[in-house]
């Protein structure tokens, strides 16, 4: 979107809002995912197997790290007032990695939801029939489907201006009419269908757990915690982004037709906020590690105790110096 579209739209908002968010997500996301993956692999080595769900969790972490590595380029871009200096190829690769992360995360969360559903509602049918090999094959399929869905996005023009100054997360205003059709179809297949599957699985699981008194309390608590994490991710990260992304594209289509609406500025600002929120999924996904690995809370307490001792020791030495 360019400043020539509608004069009332505050295009400078993204320059102030997105860089601090990206920096925060980059630091916390790398630390949390690195620690979570290390703990997951250590646990798999200890038990000589990763486990079916942990294969999906591992791929979830890899999708996060893939996206996090592109954030420094975006921070530089917005600090330079939307001046892209890294070339057209990297301008296309950056949103491609974002889409792999976004829809890969949704896909792997859906896989975890389906497996939990089968293990709780149909345990006798699942026992011994679904193996780690199956989960690896399913993970490869998720990566393939997400890549196929995301690949057409790379063929849309991402740059605008002399020397590729501007880099769009969707496409330039020239092709926005076609892009909104692609985006709506993408939203339906990549987001709405997985959302319905996930809600259906957890809805049935909750009904079964609440109606059966013999269900292990620990299992019930873990399922409820995972349900809360999934609801948090969809409510904060995924739903606002998809709704506001398509509304913003529609606003751009109207602006291209020389039609300016009063709500255009509000939608634009809300869309930029949703872009900041959706990247938070890379920092929030490690909550799945906390849910799936009982050792991590103990490790966290140990790290906090070590940090507290280190701070107290440093404070004591400073006091001695001044005395």
Q: How many residues does the chain have?
A: 323
Mean pLDDT for all residues in the chain: 83
Give the CATH number of the domain where residue 153 resides.
1.20.1070.10
Residue 186 lies in a domain: yes
What share of the chain has pLDDT > 70, as a percent?
Answer: 81
- Per DSSP, 270 falls in state H
User: The domain containing residue 172 runs over which residues?
Assistant: 16-308
pLDDT in tens, 204-258: 888 887 777 666 677 777 777 888 888 889 999 999 999 999 999 999 999 888 8
- Per-residue confidence (pLDDT) for residue 322, from 0 to 100: 47
3-state SS class at 160: strand
Residue 71 lies in a domain: yes
Residue 315 lies in a domain: no
Alpha helices in 69-126 (DSSP H): 71-79, 88-121, 123-126
Residue 42 lies in a domain: yes
Residue given tokens 């579209």 in the structure block = 5
Residue 3 lies in a domain: no
Residue 9 lies in a domain: no
pLDDT in tens, 13-59: 888 899 999 999 999 999 989 888 887 777 766 655 567 888 898 99
Predicted TM-score (pTM) of this structure: 0.85
Inter-residue contact 174 to 157 (CB < 8 Å)? yes
Domain count within the chain: 1
Residue 316 lies in a domain: no
3-state SS class at 280: coil
Residue given tokens 């490690």 in the structure block = 286
């Amino acid at each position: 979107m360019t400043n020539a579209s509608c004069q009332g739209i505050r295009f400078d908002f993204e320059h102030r809002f997105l860089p601090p968010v990206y920096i925060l997500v980059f630091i916390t996301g790398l630390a949390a995912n690195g620690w979570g993956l290390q703990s997951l692999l250590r646990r798999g080595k200890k038990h000589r197997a990763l486990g079916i769900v942990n294969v999906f969790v591992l791929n979830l972490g890899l999708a996060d790290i893939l996206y996090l590595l592109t954030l420094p380029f975006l921070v530089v871009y917005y600090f330079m007032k939307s001046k892209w200096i890294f070339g057209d190829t990297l301008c296309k690769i950056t949103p491609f990695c974002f889409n792999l992360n976004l829809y890969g995360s949704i896909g792997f969360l859906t896989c975890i939801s389906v497996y939990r559903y089968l293990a709780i509602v149909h345990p006798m049918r699942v026992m011994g029939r679904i193996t780690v090999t199956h989960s690896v094959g399913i993970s490869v399929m998720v990566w393939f489907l997400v890549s196929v869905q995301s690949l057409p996005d790379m063929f849309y023009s991402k740059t605008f201006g002399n020397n590729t100054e501007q880099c769009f997360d969707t496409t330039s205003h020239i092709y926005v009419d076609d892009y909104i059709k692609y985006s709506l179809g993408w939203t339906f297949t990549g987001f709405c269908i997985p959302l319905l599957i996930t809600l259906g699985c957890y809805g049935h699981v909750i009904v079964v757990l609440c109606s059966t008194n013999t269900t292990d309390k620990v299992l019930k608590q873990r399922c409820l915690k995972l349900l809360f994490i999934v609801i948090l991710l969809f409510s904060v990260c995924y739903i606002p982004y998809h709704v506001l992304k398509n509304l913003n594209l529609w606003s751009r289509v109207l602006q291209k037709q020389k039609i300016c609406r009063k709500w255009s500025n509000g939608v634009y600002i809300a869309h930029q906020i949703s872009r900041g929120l959706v990247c938070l999924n890379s920092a929030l996904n490690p909550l799945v590690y906390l849910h799936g690995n009982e050792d991590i809370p103990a490790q966290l307490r140990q790290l906090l105790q070590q940090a507290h001792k280190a701070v107290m020791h440093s404070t004591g030495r400073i006091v001695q110096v001044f005395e």
